[in-house]
């Protein structure tokens, strides 16, 4: 079989594969939903983790700046939040 | 017998230890999920022959059935963790129960949508109110109820206890989903895979299905560990070990 024939045979197979025997409109959306939902599910905790740590660092920074002010100005204590 | 096993379990229940443990296992679970998932996709979409009645439409089985198994399996895990959380007040059990709910809801949603996409060409309808489909929809509502109740409380641990109670009551629905095809007349086909006997499926189609089942199990472990780690950081924000993690990740 020539290279060209092989190419057409294989591209024909690929086209048949994507056609899914005429059920492409049902099979591929099903697989798409499967992957999209699971990708969203695996990204969500990563984003939340980043947010949690950022908020925690902000809280630590606020606390340490409050302590610094209290140390440099011992008579006038800042009002507690 | 030495008591190192209960001791080890007791240590594992402490948030910083579990955080490290889950962080070490999570990448391996995800790698195995991707490996078994890729093998299943190749076996199911390329190698397995078309069905003699359903043609290629049956290939939805390779994601529909493993997702349906996970929707019930995760509910069972959530129910057991919720029970442990209510009886022994273990913080880690609360977190495992509450963080299982969104993953279970995701798999239940996938089950319903892929089932609908399979039902249209084979049954001629996207949806029918029969026992299997309706009980699976109730399962989704139970997951959403647990998630909603958990977030409805100002105090996270109080919310977790209320939601754990709902999760335990909802366990009654899991056998209903499983046996619905035997108990009632339904449009949905009966069980194809039989653990204790002959399965009604050829080996070419069975092995990709089992490979995808393993992939979804490992995916659940990876996703759960990722979520539990994040939740532990949020819950233990005032503690020293979390502050160290926050500061070390800021320097990166």
Domain assignment present for B172: yes
Selecting from A26, A33, A52 the residue whose C-beta is nearest the C-beta of B57 gives A26
User: How many beta-carbon pairs below 8 A join chains A and B?
Assistant: 94
User: Tokens 């990166």 map to which residue?
Assistant: B252
Over chain B, what is the mean pLDDT? 90
More confident residue, B72 or B244: B72
Closest CA to B101 of A44, A29, A31, A35: A44
pLDDT single digits (tens) B159-204: 999 999 999 999 999 999 988 888 887 788 877 777 666 777 888 8
Write out the H or E segment, with its range, that includes residue B221: helix B203-235
pTM: 0.88
Q: Residues of B near A (CB-CB distance < 8 A)?
A: 30, 45-46, 50, 55-57, 59-60, 63-64, 67, 102-103, 106, 109-110, 113-114, 117-118, 120-121, 219, 222-223, 226-227, 229-230, 233-234, 237, 242-243, 245-247, 249-250
Q: Is A20 in CB contact (< 8 Å) with chain B?
A: yes
Range of the domain at B233: 35-189+199-242
Residue A49 domain-assigned? yes
Q: Do residues B177 and B107 make contact, with C-beta atoms less than 8 angstroms apart?
A: no
pLDDT average, residue stretch B108-120? 95
Instruction: Indicate if the pLDDT at residue B150 is higher than 80.
Output: yes
Q: What is the tally of structural domains in chain B?
A: 1
pLDDT at position B64 over 50 = yes
**Is residue A3, in this structure, part of any structural domain at all?**
no
Q: How confident is the model at residue B225 (pLDDT cuts 50, 70, 90)?
A: very high
Whether residue B28 is contained in a domain is answered as: no
What percentage of chain B exceeds 70 in pLDDT? 95
How many structural domains comprise chain A?
A: 1
Q: Which residue has the higher pLDDT, B92 or B197?
A: B92
Task: With respect to residue A30, please indicate whether it lies within any of the assigned structural domains.
Answer: yes
User: Taking each helix axis from N to C terminus, what angle separates B240-251 and A24-72, rounded to the nearest 10 degrees?
Assistant: 100
- Tell me, yes or no, whether B26 lies in a domain: no
Is there a domain that residue B23 lies in?
A: no
A31 lies in which domain range? 23-81
Residue A57 belongs to a domain: yes
Q: Residue A41: list chain B partners with CB under 8 A.
A: 102-103, 106, 223
pLDDT of residue A73: 67
Q: Look at residue B1 and tell me whether its pLDDT is greater than 60.
A: no
Q: Are B75 and B225 in contact (CB under 8 A)?
A: no
Low-confidence ranges of chain A (pLDDT < 70): 1-12, 73-81
What is the pLDDT at residue A1? 46
Does some domain include residue A59?
yes
Which two tokens mark B202? 């050829």
Q: Is residue A40 part of a domain?
A: yes
Beta strand ranges found along chain A (DSSP E): none
Q: What is the pLDDT of residue A2?
A: 55
Note whether B223 contacts A20, CB cutoff 8 Å. Answer: no
pLDDT of residue A80: 62
Residue B49's SS3 state is coil
Name the CA radius of gyration of chain B, rounded: 20
Q: What is the pLDDT of residue A74?
A: 62
The answer to whether A37 contacts chain B (CB < 8 Å) is yes
Cβ contact B104:B71 at 8 Å: yes
Q: Name the DSSP class of B47.
A: I
Tell whether B12 is covered by a domain. Answer: no
B54: in domain: yes
A33 touches B: beta carbon within 8 Å: yes
A66 within a domain of the structure (yes/no): yes
A64 inside domain: yes
Confidence (pLDDT) at B91 = 87
The answer to whether residue B30 sits within a structural domain is no
Which residue, among B135, B151, B69, B66, has the nearest Cα to B102 in the 3D structure?
B151
Q: Is residue B24 part of a domain?
A: no
């Amino acid at each position: 079989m020539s290279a060209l024939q092989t190419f057409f045979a294989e591209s024909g197979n690929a086209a048949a594969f994507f056609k899914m025997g005429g059920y492409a409109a049902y099979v591929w959306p099903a697989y798409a939903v499967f992957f999209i939902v699971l990708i969203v599910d695996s990204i969500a905790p990563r984003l939340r983790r980043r947010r949690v740590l950022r908020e925690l660092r902000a809280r630590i920074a606020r606390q340490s700046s409050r302590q610094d002010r209290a140390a440099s100005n011992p008579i006038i204590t800042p009002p507690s939040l | 017998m030495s008591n190192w096993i209960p001791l080890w379990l007791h240590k594992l229940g402490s948030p910083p230890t579990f955080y490290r443990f889950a962080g070490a296992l999570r990448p391996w679970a995800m790698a195995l999920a991707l490996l078994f998932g890729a093998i299943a996709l190749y076996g199911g979409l390329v190698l397995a022959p078309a069905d003699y009645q359903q043609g290629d439409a049956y290939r939805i089985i390779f994601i529909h059935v493993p997702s349906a198994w996970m929707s019930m399996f995760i509910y069972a895990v959530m129910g057991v963790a919720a029970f442990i959380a209510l009886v022994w007040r273990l913080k880690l059990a609360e977190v495992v129960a509450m963080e299982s709910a969104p993953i279970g809801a995701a798999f239940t949603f996938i089950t319903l949508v892929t089932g609908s996409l399979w039902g249209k060409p084979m049954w001629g309808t996207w949806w029918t109110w029969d026992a299997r489909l309706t009980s699976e929809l109730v399962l989704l509502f139970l997951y959403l109820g647990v998630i909603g109740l958990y977030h409805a409380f100002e105090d996270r641990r109080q919310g977790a206890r209320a939601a754990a109670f709902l999760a335990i009551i909802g366990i009654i629905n899991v056998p209903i989903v499983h046996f619905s095809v035997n108990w009632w007349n339904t449009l949905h086909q009966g069980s194809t895979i039989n653990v204790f006997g002959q399965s009604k499926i050829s080996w070419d189609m069975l092995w990709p299905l089992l490979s995808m089942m393993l992939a979804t199990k490992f995916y659940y472990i990876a996703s759960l560990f990722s979520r539990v780690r994040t939740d532990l950081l949020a819950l233990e924000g005032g503690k020293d070990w979390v502050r160290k993690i926050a500061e070390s990740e800021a320097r990166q």
